[in-house]
Amino acid sequence: MSHNIEHIRLVTFTPIKLSEYKVAVLETTPVKANLKVVSLANIISKNLSKPINVNIKHVIKSKNFMKLGDEELSYVVYLMAASSVPLYLYNFDPQLQCIISYISLPKDGVPTLHTVALVTRKNFKNIGKRQTFFIVIAKTMEKNISMNMVRQFYKMSWNLIAYKLRGIAGNDVDSVPPQRVYTLLVQLTLEKESDVVEVAIPEFNEAIKVRIPIRKPEWSLNDMPPKLRNDIETIIVKPILNKASYAPRGILITGPPGVGKTVSAEAISSALKTRIVELRPSTYRSMWYGLTEKILEETLQAVKRKSNVTVLLDDVDFLVGRHIAIHETHVSEITIFLRFLQSEQRPLVILTTNTPELLDPALIRPGRIDVVMLMGYPDREFRKYIAIKSARRYGLELKTEVLDIIADSTRWFTHAEIDALIRLAASKSEGNINEDAVMWARQRFAINESIRKSIQDRLRWFGEQFQGITIKYVPNDNEII
């Protein structure tokens, strides 16, 4: 039965399987049925599977539920009033009645009552004198709801019931709420993205806890060479952002130390608008037999459950080929990573290494690692760009003629060495870098060009051996000079 009383809709009905109970529902805003709310009702109703004799607070953190409107979430009051609440009263507390309310609490802190239901035995007579079990479902974006606020919610709910049910229940219903024996407070709140990956591994009588920070990338694609940037956007970034089925899910970045492999990994993560989970052996390795494998398995499973993250394995040389592994734990470790890289549910994984030839070949085959990025020593134009970026980072200015001198004098330098030269020249010139300061700083570096040429040649050789997609930034000798 439905009535509209002063713009508030009153609905009364009898639960199908428990006809001795009566339900009255008051809607201050129209309720819209939504099947997604059924799962919310089931979650809340688990609290009613056994007798309750104390106040309970149940916090539900969910992005999906918080996306629903108040008119849809109000439907949970109908679902519970029609099934789980009458069943609870019948089985455990037949002398009680129950009030179920859905309330939203915006940032300004003023609660709004959207829907309230009264579930009582036989009829609505004497409802003001019956002991009451109060269930309040409160939606809030930020504010933590304390049990002390329940008194306010209960009074709001009862005032509406008393005012609107006087015609049905009689004039003996006054504004003084009936005795509330206990309360189930359900707080719906937004699930915030955690800043850590946290796992607990039971071991004997205690649990070993592992916490891995999740951080924001500090570099962007603007910090990359233009030649490399275009290929990264085309081959990696755009397919992943478009959620294409053919998008790469594993990347290996290799090159000599200091050329910006970690910077490249962070730049890719930044372009994908993801955060970085960096896995290091010190995080999961243990001296106890079998524990390394347990920790690693649990950690990788926890990483899978995270959204919008990129997994970074920096300096991944520790995953050496199984044929040269010196301990069976290392073999097991590589096997676990192989299974992880084969999983379809995993996030993007980026590996960096100086010595790709040491890695287990099965680790970097296409399907696990789809793209290999080769990063060699920077050419002349990119050395200028690195010098400009480094100077800006330290609040310095470089004149055009000084910039040309830096580019000419840093042949076969890495990104890190150019940055170090800028800092050294700034120290010599007290922040006003000139030609003399640059040449003085250059004399402090011993660069063997023939060795670096051979490193560059070996990098090209590895790129030719890899049987998959490659993105190459390996300038020729004449481009570096």
Model confidence at 322, in pLDDT bands (50, 70, 90)? low
**Partners of 199 in beta bridges:** 210
Q: How far apart are CA 188 and CA 126, in angstroms?
A: 33
Does pLDDT of 3 surpass 70?
no
Share of the chain above pLDDT 90, in %: 51
Do 168 and 124 touch, CB atoms closer than 8 A?
A: yes
Share of the chain above pLDDT 70, in %: 93
- If you search the block for the tokens 């806890």, which residue do you land on? 209
Q: How far apart are CA 101 and CA 133, in angstroms?
A: 11
Q: Where are the domains of the chain?
A: 2-189, 196-372, 380-447
Model confidence at 170, in pLDDT bands (50, 70, 90)? low
Do 45 and 84 touch, CB atoms closer than 8 A?
A: yes
Question: Looking at per-residue confidence, does 221 or 296 come out higher?
Answer: 221
- pLDDT at position 193 is 64
Q: How far apart are CA 45 and CA 41, in angstroms?
A: 6
Does pLDDT of 307 surpass 50?
yes
- pLDDT at position 169 is 58
CATH architecture type of domain 196-372: 3-Layer(aba) Sandwich (3.40)
Task: For residue 184, give both structure tokens.
Answer: 């189930």
pLDDT tens per residue across span 336-346: 888 888 888 88
Do 284 and 443 touch, CB atoms closer than 8 A?
A: no
Identity of residue 293:
E
CA atoms within 13 A on the CB side of 19: 0
Interaxial angle between packed helices 328-342 and 291-304, expressed in degrees from 0 to 180 and rounded to the nearest 10? 20
- If you search the block for the tokens 């079998």, which residue do you land on? 290
Do 403 and 421 touch, CB atoms closer than 8 A?
A: no
pLDDT tens per residue across span 240-291: 999 898 899 999 999 999 998 999 999 999 999 999 998 887 777 777 777 7
112, 118, 119, 123: CA torsion to nearest 10: -170
The whole-number average pLDDT for the span 319-334 is 65
Model confidence at 4, in pLDDT bands (50, 70, 90)? very low
Backbone angles phi, psi at 114, to 5 degrees: -100, -45
Task: For residue 316, give both structure tokens.
Answer: 């991944």
Q: How far apart are CA 169 and CA 173, in angstroms?
A: 7
The whole-number average pLDDT for the span 297-307 is 84
Range with lowest mean pLDDT among 186-190, 352-356, 465-469: 465-469
Tell me the C-alpha to C-alpha distance, in Å, between residue 409 and each of 94, 260, 402, 405, 430: 89, 20, 11, 6, 20
Sign of the Cα torsion 246, 250, 256, 260 reads positive
State the pTM of this model: 0.64
pLDDT tens per residue across span 214-240: 889 988 898 888 888 899 999 999 999
- pLDDT at position 5 is 47
The length of the chain, given as a count of residues: 481
Does pLDDT of 127 surpass 70?
yes
Does pLDDT of 182 surpass 50?
yes
Do 196-372 and 380-447 show the same overall fold? no
Does pLDDT of 319 surpass 80?
no
3-state secondary structure the chain: CEEEECCEEEEEECCCCCCCEEEEEEECCCCCCCCHHHHHHHHHHHHHCCCCCCCEEEEEECHHHHHCCHHHHCHHHHHHHHCHHHHHHHHCCCCCEEEEEEEEECCCCCCEEEEEEEEEECCCCCHHHCCEEEEEEEEECCCCCCHHHHHHHHHHHHHHHHHHHHHHHCCCCCCCCCCEEEEEEEEEECCCCCCEEEEEEEECCEEEEEEEEEECCCCCHHHCCHHHHHHHHHHHHHHHHCCCCCCCCEEEEECCCCCCHHHHHHHHHHHCCCEEEECCHHHHCCCCCCHHHHHHHHHHHHHHCCCCEEEEECCHHHCECCCCCCCHHHHHHHHHHHHHHHCCCCCEEEEEECCHHHECHHHHCCCCCCEEEEECCCCHHHHHHHHHHHHHHCCCCCCHHHHHHHHHHCCCCCHHHHHHHHHHHHHHHCCCCCHHHHHHHHCCCCCCHHHHHHHHHHHHHHHHHCCCEEEEECCCHHHHC
Model confidence at 176, in pLDDT bands (50, 70, 90)? confident
pLDDT tens per residue across span 406-426: 999 999 999 999 999 999 999
Identity of residue 382:
F
Interaxial angle between packed helices 415-429 and 435-442, expressed in degrees from 0 to 180 and rounded to the nearest 10? 130
Model confidence at 24, in pLDDT bands (50, 70, 90)? very high
Query: From 1.10.3470, 2.60.120, 1.10.8, 2.60.40, which CATH number describes the 380-447 domain?
Result: 1.10.8
- pLDDT at position 223 is 84
Range with lowest mean pLDDT among 3-7, 8-12, 116-120, 374-378: 3-7
Does pLDDT of 37 surpass 60?
yes
Q: How far apart are CA 100 and CA 461, in angstroms?
A: 71
Output the average pLDDT for the chain. Answer: 87
Does pLDDT of 333 surpass 80?
no
